[in-house]
Structures are given as structure tokens and as C-alpha cells.
Structure 1
């Protein structure tokens, strides 16, 4: 099944760390105390430190850009619900399933979700993705043999 067929799917798994919180803060400026202040976060409704939503949803960015639909893909629209907190040390698995493909444009609609190591659904929603035809063709397995290789399912950041 190719990435432009309804039913095609991909998964990507990654452990999140406190360093991810720091890196996201460096990019975004998000210094919300629920990400840093142990005591205050423990007293909040979250009951402890939580990872920024952008870190969580970022796993879907990698999945879409690297696997499904693949290189050259950009989000046109996303609708995500954040359903449960993600904490440093959680192992997240992002899943995307093609639900629709336009015939007139390189546009794909995906059902997207992220679960943690306990199979708790932490993010659920949809994404509409456009894939640049030039980049897609240039990175196909025919022109770039490694492009068709499965992407790593576990990414570790030191």
C-alpha cells in the first residue's frame, strides 16, 4: 500500500525527556511553571510536571515529514485535542492513517493520534497535508534508495 492510498498508515515512537522541555522553551519562549516548577505543578490539576503540547504534537510533524506522506509534506490544517498530560519519561507512539486523498492535488487527510506507554490516548485528531510533488519525486525510493527504508521507530536524544 502506498502513502497515497486510503488506509495507509505509519507509526513513530519516541521517549520524551526534560531536555525536550528545555529545547522547546528555547524555541518558543514557553516558560509556563507547569513545565518547570515541581512544587507548583504538583499542586495543579496536572499533579506534576507536564511536557508542552508542542513537544507532544511535534512527533506528528516528524511522522508526516519523514514517513506518511513523506518528504516535502507540510500541514495545511490540523485539529488536535490534547486528552491527557504527557510527562518526562513517557514513551509516545504517534500514528497516522490516510482517510482521504484528493485526485486533483497532492493533498491527503490523516486521522492522527498519540498514545503513551500505557496505551492512554494523549492526543487525537486530524490533519490535512500537502506534499510537494518535486520533493516527493526527488526523495522516492527510485531516485533515493534510502528514502524507502523504514524510518527509525525509536529516537533517542542524548
Structure 2
């Protein structure tokens, strides 16, 4: 999935080396009410669609939904842990939330490398989050910088 960098390019010192175009990684998580509470503790987002079952069920969503940050958060884990890997942070994201994620849904975040700079540890990736029915919930692109850690 990756190749080692030479001392003269921008990938020297990156733990997993330079990723290859076409490489991908996925991670799954079943959403829980606890995710909503944890996200609220971090952000203060107390939207009734996340907490008021009656209001959420009467809405277009028909159920309690998790915050968008919970949905996109799985991509943080994929990028930081899997591809490109440790030391990676988002520089820029372009995401479209196309389907709400309900409490109890299994979501899978996926990143795929579409471009890798040779002079700097910067990767452009396609991103998506799908539910267990395979429906796209989030789609878009991101640019990631990987800090050399060694």
C-alpha cells in the first residue's frame, strides 16, 4: 500500500511512507446515543433532532439522527490511523452530507488516494461514508498533510 520515501523527497520520516494512488482504507462504527452526548459535550450542539425523539420522528428524518460531526468523524480515524496514517491531519475538506445517519446505524468511512505530492507529504483523497444498506451519507474530497514522526 505504500513505498518508502528517499531522504530527498517530502515523505522522508513518514511512518508508513508515501501512499500510492488507488490505495484505500475503510473503518466501520455503529452509532450510539453516547456518540451524540460526547459530541454535544465537545461542541454544545443540542439540536432537538439529536435529543427530542418526538420532534425527530415528526421531522423529515423520522428518527433521532447523529450530528454531522459524528458522521464525518469516522473519516478522521481512517486518515489518522490507516491511510495515510499516523501524523496525518486534514488541510482542507469538501464534504456533502447527502443522507442523515440515525442512532444505531452501522456506518463505514472510506478514503481513497487520488493524488500524492512527491515534494511534500500531502495527499488528496476521495472520501465517503455509507450506511449498512450501502447508501452514501457523506461524499467529497479532502487534502491531508502527514507530519513526519520518526
What is the TM-score when the length of structure 1 is the normalising length?
Answer: 0.83
Structure 1 residue 41 and structure 2 residue 68: aligned? no
Aligned to 2:91: 76
1:1-158 equivalent positions in 2, closer than 5 A: 1-2=1-2, 4-133=19-148, 135=149, 138=150
Shift of 1:104: 1.4
Structure 1 runs of 4+ with >2 Å offset: none
Secondary structure, aligned partner of 1:48: coil
* Number of equivalenced pairs: 135
CA RMSD of aligned residues (A): 0.9
Unpaired segments of 5 or more residues in structure 1? 139-158
Shift of 1:44: 1.3
